[in-house]
Amino acid sequence: MSITKKIQESAVESLTHLYEQEFNEKDFQVSQTNPEFEGDYTIVLFSLIKNLKKSPDVIGKELGDYIVKNYSLLFSKYNIIKGFLNLTVTDNYWFDLLNKNYNDVCFGKHAMNGKKIMVEYSSPNTNKPLHLGHLRNNFLGWSVAEILKANGYDVVKSCIVNDRGIHICKSMIAWQMFGNMETPESTKTKGDHFVGEYYVKFNDEYKREVEELISKGVEKDKAEKEAPIMQRAQKMLLDWENNKPEVIDLWKKMNAWVYKGFDVTYKRIGSDFDKTYYESNTYLLGKQIVEEGLAKKVFIKDDDGSIWIDLTEDGLDKKIVQRKDGTSVYITQDIGLAEKKYEEYKIDKSIYVIGDEQNYHMKVLKLIAEKLDLPNAKNIFHLSYGMVELPSGKMKSREGTVVDADDMVDEMIATAKQHTEELGKVKDFEEHELQQLFETIGLGAMKFYLLRVDPKKRMIFNPEESIDFHGFTGPFVQYTYARIQSVLKKVTSNLPIAIGIPVTGNRQPATNLLSLEKELILTLEQYSQIIEQAATELNPSVIANYIFHLAKTFNSFYTEHSIANAESEDKKQVRLQIATMTANVIKSSMQLLGIPVPERM
């Protein structure tokens, strides 16, 4: 049980006993004591004065006396300042906590709870390579999945690949027109980049044709529809839907190139999926649901045969769910897939990691599912995140103004290499260890950078200013970890017995905790609640902020107090335990962000 919870409970019991009436945890607040006051945790008394009709000072004194006297294992003393009851927790409580947990690599994580959650993320299009926005999506999805696992959920990571549609045909047409039968192999280009180039070529040609038509006096709207290359793309889409063999072959061939490229990128950034759905397999889903919806009168058929749902009563609009030609639209496919996910996995919650430009779409999706009484309707949750933009504005793959994911990763690793070499600490590293270190640091910096911000906020990335390696960054935390490992190795190599031997029996160390030591233990103790909070909010930045605070506190402690040459043997043991536990929590929490930590750097 967390210390906060213990304090709440002891205060509730004390108040109930003192004033002979019912209290509960919500009657007062417990928070960490501000550093400028003496004490560890503070009970805010103002909310009690109305009920008890006593001054905060009187309540504080009565409660303080009682709680310190009756919970002497927990509290050693108290003070009252202006309505705040500051309690000091006994050193023994903290020693005990350290002893029990310092070497537990699972500290803070929760037991399995029997619930299953699907997290869908990444969702790439097979007509272009991944860019910086996809990286944010991937890192978020991965991290949220890990955070949920740490909270005891059974997590299924899924991905829906957008492998069909007009945009895919565009790359295909362009390759037919300009490709000269070249391949990724023949041009030594990564497959996804190779195909992406043709997507850009399509749009260049399309633009040229539209302008040509306009110059001949055709109106803009008409020109956009009549440009020959666009008509070819639309024809190809029809051929694809009719399973025309040569179109299907080309589609398969080009998609295979893209997948090969994606695999390389996913592997590099550490993304993977338990289940991959392909839109080419799922785009017909939902048709049956349309039938059922019509029967239930949730949907209405228009005179022209198209099918609609009216959401105006819910403050939204009318939405089409099936075209007059009988084909299903985006939202219908999504409802079908949502249902399929539930049937296949019997999930308790379905999380979609999708950009905030789809907020409206996801709201509609959930609402339709609810109106249809689908069993999973209430469990659909959209984890919406803000776009990553450049200082010049939005990234547009059509115009080539994107920060490419692979380039970005390359650059980060190169920067890591440069920084590391400048510092000159790695002279005795083997070549493969060095390469791994550069990747750990470079990718760590990038993941931390993208995850430390609240997902729902859009962020501006300036490629001119490279991602920092100092301060609130991944490498800062990694460095803290490596330094702890270095100390532990040094100290324990002189001691054949495992470090941080628990202080045996009931004997407590003959030492008092210094403020930095206590602050560290207090921070470590909170880890479990931080994991919970991150899961409730589906927000990895909670973890990132926590790790940074922990690492920062440790660094202050490290500079201020020696571990190896501590003032006494007891002190040394306590500090070794603190260092070990800090390292464990850093490693475990960085893992929740998908960032590995190096043993040395």
Partner RNA sequence: GGUCCGGUAGCUCAGUUGGAUAGAGCAUCAGCCUUCUAAGCUGAGGGUCAUUGGUUCGAAUCCAAUCCGGAUCACCA
498-537 residues in contact with RNA (CB under 7 A) are none
Q: What is the per-residue binding string for RNA in 480-499, x denoting contact by CB under 7 A?
A: --xx-xxx--xx--------
Q: Of 454, 463, 492, 532, which lies in the binding site for RNA, with binding defined by CB under 7 A? A: 454
Among 1, 111, 295, 423, binds RNA (CB under 7 A): 423
Task: Scan residues 173-232 and list those touching RNA (CB under 7 A).
Answer: none
Mask: binding to RNA, 358-397, rule CB under 7 A, as x and -? Answer: xxxx------------------------xx------x---
Least distance between RNA and beta carbon 314 (Å): 10
Of the candidates 204, 419, 492, 591, which one interacts with RNA according to CB under 7 A? Answer: 419
Contact between 479 and RNA per CB under 7 A: yes
Which range touches RNA (CB under 7 A), out of 108-116, 210-218, 289-297, 448-456? 448-456
Build a one-symbol-per-residue string for 562-581: x at contacts with RNA by CB under 7 A, - elsewhere: xxxx----------------
How far apart CA 554 and CA 523 sit, in angstroms, is: 10
Could you say whether residue 64 binds RNA (CB under 7 A)? no
Distance in Å, CB of 390 to RNA, minimum: 12
Q: How many residues bind RNA (CB under 7 A)?
A: 90
Alpha-carbon gap, residue 286 to 589, rounded angstroms = 40
Which value, to the nearest 10 degrees, does the dihedral of the CA atoms of residues 502, 506, 507, 512 take? 80
Check binding of 302 to RNA (CB under 7 A).
Answer: yes
Are the C-beta atoms of 103 and 500 separated by less than 8 Å?
A: yes
Among 203, 473, 582, 584, binds RNA (CB under 7 A): 473
Token pair 């529809």 is at which residue? 225
Helix or strand holding residue 362 (H, E)? helix 359-371
Q: How many CA atoms lie within 13 A of 373 on its CB side?
A: 6
- What is the rounded distance in angstroms from the CA atom of residue 368 to the CA atom of residue 361? 11
Q: Contact between 433 and RNA (CB under 7 A)?
A: no
Query: Using an 8 Å Cβ cutoff, are 146 and 272 in contact?
Result: no
- Residue 215 C-beta: closest distance to RNA, Å: 25
Residue 47 touches RNA, criterion: CB under 7 A: yes
CB of 583 within 8 A of CB of 105?
no
Structure tokens at 270: 């550490």
Cα 265 to Cα 132: distance, rounded to the nearest angstrom: 12
Contact residue for RNA among 70, 492, 529, 545 (CB under 7 A): 545
Q: Are 159 and 122 in contact (CB under 8 A)?
A: yes
Is the separation of the CB atoms in 254 and 196 below 8 Å? no
* Residues of span 85-104 touching RNA by CB under 7 A: 86
For residues 190 and 258, give the distance between their C-alpha atoms in angstroms, rounded to a whole number: 8
- Of these, 182, 219, 314, 357, which contacts RNA (CB under 7 A)? 357
Three-state secondary-structure class, residue 354: strand
Binding segment toward RNA, per CB under 7 A, in 197-205, 375-383, 476-484, 505-513: 476-484
Task: Verify binding: residue 451, RNA, rule CB under 7 A.
Answer: no
The alpha carbon dihedral of 428, 430, 436, 439 has a sign of positive
